[in-house]
Structure 1
Amino acid sequence: KRKKERKKERKKERKKERKKERKKERKKERKKERKKERKKERKKERKKERKKERKKERKRKRKKERKKKKKKEKEKERKKNKERKREEGRKEGRKEGRKEGRKEGRKEGRKEGRKEGRKEGRKEGRKEGRKEGRKE
């Protein structure tokens, strides 16, 4: 009788042990699973973050490029305008110079002509006057 009881006891004991073991195992498994899940989640998050960062970076780069291009264009335009102004200035200057020169030349010519005419007129008048005076 006692032997049987002890056998039963041991059986019960072993059953309990196995139950405990299984519980532990399940706990371990669950822990492992959760760990895996968290890892997966973190990986996903990091991927998302990297994607976002890359997008931002590309945006920044494009902005920079556009700025550079705009600056270059502005500089080109400025140079072109400067050149055009210089050309216009030179043309204008040449025109002005020629005009001035022509004006001066004409003035001088007219002055000379008038002077000569007056001189001749006076000479003639004097000659005539003297001739007349002698005749008288």
Structure 2
Amino acid sequence: MAKKKAAKKAVKKAAKKKATKKKAVKKKATKKKAVKKKAVKKKKKATKKKAAKKKTAKKKVAKKKVAKKKAAKKKTAKKKKKKK
């Protein structure tokens, strides 16, 4: 509320001053937006990294599973050969 009153006073004092003030306020707002965007970008990057880590972990698990399957196949192949 105090800001609004101050703005009204500025209007009464001088239109030019108000215009420059508005520009300054706008600049601050855009700066804040930029900061927010950066924060969002950082967050997104972090989530992307996490997702990537999860993916690699899944890949590792999948590789292990494949390795186990291959090992199992080898064992069964050996058994078959022995039977013959």
TM-score, scaled relative to structure 1? 0.50
SS of equivalent to 1:98: helix
Which residues of structure 1 form unaligned runs of 5+? 1-51, 127-136
Post-superposition CA distance 1:51-81 (Å, at most 9, x none): x9x5022211221111111111110111011
RMSD over equivalenced CA pairs, Å: 1.6
What residue identity is the alignment partner of 2:44?
K
- Residues 95-114 of structure 1 correspond to what in structure 2 (within 5 A)? 95-114=54-73
What is the CA–CA distance in structure 2 between the aligned matches of 1:60 and 1:90, rounded to whole Å?
45
Question: Following superposition, which runs of at least 4 residues in structure 1 exceed 4 angstroms of deviation?
Answer: none
The number of residues matched between the two structures is 73
In 2, the alpha carbon distance for the partners of 1:55 and 1:100 equals 67
* Higher Cα Rg, which structure: 1
1:31-70 to 2 correspondences below 5 Å:
55-70=14-29
Which one has more relative contact order, counting CA pairs under 8 Å at least 6 apart? Answer: 2
Q: Does 1:117 align with 2:76?
A: yes
TM-score between the two structures when normalised by the length of structure 2: 0.77
Identity %: 25
Q: Which runs of 5+ in 2 are unaligned?
A: 1-10
